[in-house]
Structure 1
């Protein structure tokens, strides 16, 4: 019941996360988004014409005001204005293309998303409307902004996912490389470096901790602290991508990927400057800050750029390379829970209060968790004292998985809400388990997709921008300033 297809989970989480983020912006900003089919408009108010639409200077102003209200450190005014304009242009292009491709959000779907946002903020729909209107905006404008955001999310997921191709050979090679890494085979192997002045390719991996311009000062500081901690860990004798996987398990917003061999001009400029003098197998000297967050970088390899160069020889004969499925290990958790299902007549406050009471009894050792689960839990595991069996990464819904992973053995959680209702969780044991062949291939495919997604997304955005007709008219002056 609680197991879910990983891709569907990720897509749903992306849409809901985007919606929640947009709702926070709606509270903070007074947007005055004008109707795109208005026949009368002052050309002085248009910052850029985007295909058949446009971005206004007022839209830029409102987005900047919203960012400023977040209290985060922003670049200088000119750079900020240029960055915001580019972001709005890309949003406009995506909306236009999505409409042409028939990507829509029905009123019923939008109502459901808004209902989820209200529930997440512990508000009724009426209370949500009051908060929106208190900002000087309107509920109708809020719905329009939210609809655009969800359409962009769906269009992006459909288009980018469609561009990611993963062959069986890639999966096989991933498993083989991971097995070699586990066994310590080939660790010292390096490609032939380029001679001074000769062209080269660099294989860079990154662990990315998001903290964009909309994040508050506290969130920025926390992200930087986490990045610096990961940088220190990466300097030790650890597998860099495995370190990224562990960090992502603790915080799903953290991403890790191997960029693959690229010439310097195909690396982000910030990345190349950071690793320009970094040798193979070495970590960049410092965390890299970008507008999107913080990046921990490692040069996996550097090699001469020679057409038709032979593949790097293996450090050990093929026969001695472990390749059996049991060589990929994952952490599994044995846990139990008490579930109070969402239903009419049981408010969130009542469910939290009841579970908090059970938690206090267990902590005070006046009641046994298993006995409480048998008596009060409202799912099929109740007969077994709430025992869910051994679960690995991705086997449970994200909210439950994240809360469970934060617990020590024997510890009982605070009440946790998921799509199924409210849970109280206790971790009984953890173990390192061997993946079956089927699970191993699922794990490999998901890891490869994770690595490829960010590059595919950035390439897709560049393609959209390059193929659109964009004319910048006057973006430098605020809307209130005369030209």
Structure 2
């Protein structure tokens, strides 16, 4: 259940949708290499956009929309959806072109090994995998081409973006210090109390969900923000929740604003937090012209001339360089896993787990007994018990579902790259990371923030330096011009 490195995560993601072998068809662009002669011959009515020396076809846009709809994703409708898909295909096309120029490639031997790994994860031979692919309506060669392109884009992105993210020891030290100021536990001294009406500074953190134009997009962004607000007001650690949301959706931003006087906070933010105390989450989602904001007051302190020095000094016996602690929320849970495999459809797995759920909720059977009997993983012998888990230890789909549960609750069936799960939360606790682990935690959190910004900047740079001409973004391939 634990995370792998980025390349293994890629392989895992490629085994996620449907029977676990076709996400690349749903998520990869339908890229085609062309020559100048091909461009002249091709009917221009079939081209939606010219991208440098290549093009995006109207059929590619149609196919991507159909794939997204098949996955059940909530999306805007009409021209907004086509524009969103078009923009994504253009960016993917540019990345493939640049990767080819930079010599990023996947050898046939590497590709065969990756396909063998995908087949093994689905408990198939390569021949059985090929049969499943062709039964889905595509050819095996087409599947290999799309898979190769996804891997090329991933490698190119890692090389171009991840290598530029640098994290210093000072940044890690400051992050750990800020965490302790935000959550005064384990010997960290609280901020100076604020007298009624006295000047103060407020440390606010936000999770920002951008909202695109259109009623559907606005509604989806608001719904996402409200779901995060519910989690934030529960047992979830706000900083971890923000980092996890940003990882799951790069468009979501997580930011700690630092200590600010009220006049230096956005007026909308101050109105939302003016009457709540340290450690509390704003009662409602804040809407701005850019989107929706979930806010939490990490700390409030009196504004005095020497505010940074106003905290009592550490004990003289304490070493100046003594490491500070980071407190995190850990969850003890257990699960029942039905692995994705040939002969077990998603509908059957979901129906079986829903039956187990109803029995546990009706208290006619013990969750642990069901796990011992039916769960298909190594934890089955222990009643499905996964032990104490911290944020980031589990795959996102599992972790998000687990974090929504109160102690003793049982989830609805949840699908991940491993199969279908039924989850029960047994307990939660606050735990202190070791010196080594807290620095790893801090480095990972800082990297997530920096990578997101670097990745968005990189995408904008790619788009700005490319030659793109939109010919027909609105009409499906079947529509006459």
TM-score normalised by the shorter chain: which range applies?
Answer: 0.5 to 0.7
Aligned-pair distance for 1:453?
1.7
After superposition, residues 304-323 of structure 1 pair within 5 angstroms as 314-317=308-311, 319-320=313-314
Aligned-pair distance for 1:224?
1.7
In 2, Cα distance between the equivalents of 1:476 and 1:352?
38
2:187 is aligned to: none
After superposition, residues 274-423 of structure 1 pair within 5 angstroms as 278=266, 282=270, 287-288=287-288, 294-296=291-293, 314-317=308-311, 319-320=313-314, 327-339=325-337, 355=353, 358-375=356-373, 377=375, 379-420=377-418, 422-423=420-421
Aligned-pair distance for 1:438?
2.4
Of 179, 183, 191, the match for 1:185: 191
2:177 is aligned to: 176
In 2, Cα distance between the equivalents of 1:152 and 1:178?
35
Decide which moves more: 84-93 or 174-183. 84-93
Q: Does 1:433 align with 2:421?
A: no
Q: Aligned to 2:248, what secondary structure does the other structure show?
A: coil
Of 443, 446, 449, the match for 1:448: 446
Q: Is the 8 A contact 1:333 1:427 kept in 2?
A: yes
In 2, Cα distance between the equivalents of 1:206 and 1:60?
37
Of 253, 261, 280, the match for 2:248: 253
In 2, Cα distance between the equivalents of 1:248 and 1:391?
16
Q: TM-score, normalised by structure 1?
A: 0.64
Q: Does 1:55 align with 2:50?
A: no
Q: Does 1:165 align with 2:161?
A: no
Q: TM-score, normalised by structure 2?
A: 0.64
Cα separation, partners in 2 of 1:282 and 1:229, compared to 1, 3 Å? farther
Aligned-pair distance for 1:386?
3.4
Q: Aligned to 2:443, what secondary structure does the other structure show?
A: helix
In 2, Cα distance between the equivalents of 1:350 and 1:256?
37
Q: Aligned to 1:106, what secondary structure does the other structure show?
A: helix
Q: Aligned to 1:455, what secondary structure does the other structure show?
A: helix
Q: Is the 8 A contact 1:283 1:299 kept in 2?
A: no
Number of aligned residue pairs: give it. Answer: 422
Structure 2, unaligned stretches of length 5 or more?
185-189, 194-198, 273-284, 298-305
Q: Is the 8 A contact 1:205 1:258 kept in 2?
A: yes
Q: Is the 8 A contact 1:326 1:436 kept in 2?
A: no
In 1, Cα distance between the equivalents of 2:309 and 2:61?
58
1:267 is aligned to: none
In 2, Cα distance between the equivalents of 1:416 and 1:65?
24
Q: Is the 8 A contact 2:91 2:459 kept in 1?
A: yes
1:198 is aligned to: none
In 2, Cα distance between the equivalents of 1:229 and 1:386?
28
Cα separation, partners in 2 of 1:35 and 1:339, compared to 1, 3 Å? closer
Q: Aligned to 1:72, what secondary structure does the other structure show?
A: coil
Q: Does 1:459 align with 2:461?
A: no
User: CA offsets, 1:415-456, max 9 Å, x none?
Assistant: 545555554432221222222222222221122112112210
In 2, Cα distance between the equivalents of 1:84 and 1:445?
34
Q: Aligned to 2:388, what secondary structure does the other structure show?
A: strand
User: CA offsets, 1:47-81, max 9 Å, x none?
Assistant: 76655x2225747875897699887246689xx76
Q: Aligned to 1:319, what secondary structure does the other structure show?
A: coil
Q: Does 1:154 align with 2:155?
A: yes
Q: Is the 8 A contact 1:352 1:415 kept in 2?
A: yes
Cα separation, partners in 2 of 1:87 and 1:402, compared to 1, 3 Å? closer
2:196 is aligned to: none
Pairwise CA RMSD? 5.5
2:34 is aligned to: 36
Structure 1, unaligned stretches of length 5 or more?
192-202, 262-274, 301-311
Q: Is the 8 A contact 2:379 2:386 kept in 1?
A: yes
Cα separation, partners in 2 of 1:171 and 1:382, compared to 1, 3 Å? same
2:279 is aligned to: none
In 2, Cα distance between the equivalents of 1:357 and 1:399?
21
In 2, Cα distance between the equivalents of 1:393 and 1:86?
33
Aligned-pair distance for 1:3?
2.7
Q: Is the 8 A contact 1:47 1:54 kept in 2?
A: no
Q: Is the 8 A contact 1:374 1:384 kept in 2?
A: yes
Q: Is the 8 A contact 1:164 1:452 kept in 2?
A: yes
Cα separation, partners in 2 of 1:58 and 1:370, compared to 1, 3 Å? closer
Q: Aligned to 1:394, what secondary structure does the other structure show?
A: coil
Cα separation, partners in 2 of 1:283 and 1:339, compared to 1, 3 Å? same
In 2, Cα distance between the equivalents of 1:253 and 1:168?
26
In 2, Cα distance between the equivalents of 1:109 and 1:380?
25
In 2, Cα distance between the equivalents of 1:318 and 1:175?
19
Cα separation, partners in 2 of 1:423 and 1:61, compared to 1, 3 Å? closer
